[in-house]
Structure 1
Amino acid sequence: MTALWIAIGGFLGAISRFTLSTWIHKKFSSNFPLGTLFVNLLGSFLLGWIVGKGLSSGFYSFWGIGFMGAFTTFSTFKLENVQLREKRNHPVLFYYLASSYAGGIVLAFIGIFIGSH
């Protein structure tokens, strides 16, 4: 049953990521991968909040593993970094790396803090 909850959460997370990221890319046209950054930072915060809440294993399987696992996108993040490097767009590349890693860690901690209080 746990695998089914993870699968359903993953399906919904992937669709949500695609929809939100696509909307952001259309709304804010830029050479900066803003859609992926937003989705990953939001996902970091929400996963931190989920962990802070201490959800039961069933809810965690659905939301934490399934939904958030598919909502955030490490592979797209890495691909966009490689593409920025290949285009020699180093200022954007460094800003994207720094904001993704530092922002993700900070937002995960904030999410845990808020979720546990």
Structure 2
Amino acid sequence: MSIPSALLVALGAALGAPLRYLVDRMVQAHHDGLFPWGTFTVNITGSALLGFLAALPAGDGTMALAGTGFCGALTTYSTFGYETLRLAEDGARVHAVFNAVASVAAGLGAAYCGMAVAQAL
């Protein structure tokens, strides 16, 4: 009997969301500046992991659980958008631009590196 994909997504999300919160708080506690290092960290980590998973010959269940569920809940585009806008509204426009550019570039780079690691295995 196979587990329905929606249940696998929910199980993965149940692990990814609290981990996102904990990592974000832990990383941000070590930085006093304006830059949202916690969100940046979870988004780059999730991008690398998803790139790794996407390059594996994994089944639909694995991608539902680990890719869509876990990585989807671990990463957070909405918080990235909110934090970037808050930086701009608070007058930290350089930080806002850096956050936008660095997050996209590092996320793509991390996904590529994740894929390269998976292909090398």
TM-score by length of 2: 0.93
Distance in 2 (CA, whole Å) between partners of 1:103 and 1:66 is 22
Of residues 65, 70, 73, the one that matches 2:73 is 70
Structure-1 residue corresponding to 2:7: 4
Of residues 43, 46, 67, the one that matches 1:43 is 46
Structure-2 residue corresponding to 1:112: 115
Distance in 1 (CA, whole Å) between partners of 2:100 and 2:74 is 19
Residue identity (%): 32
Unaligned runs of 5+ in 1: none
Distance in 2 (CA, whole Å) between partners of 1:54 and 1:77 is 30
Distance in 2 (CA, whole Å) between partners of 1:73 and 1:54 is 26
- Please tell me the root mean square deviation across aligned C-alpha atoms, in Å: 0.9
Unaligned runs of 5+ in 2: none
Distance in 2 (CA, whole Å) between partners of 1:23 and 1:72 is 15
Of residues 59, 64, 70, the one that matches 1:61 is 64
1:16-57 deviations in whole A, cap 9, x for unaligned? 100110111112222110000011011111100011112111
Of residues 86, 91, 95, the one that matches 1:92 is 95
TM-score by length of 1: 0.96
Q: How many residues align?
A: 117
Distance in 2 (CA, whole Å) between partners of 1:116 and 1:61 is 20
Paired amino acid for 1:19: L
Higher alpha-carbon deviation: 49-58 or 77-86: 49-58
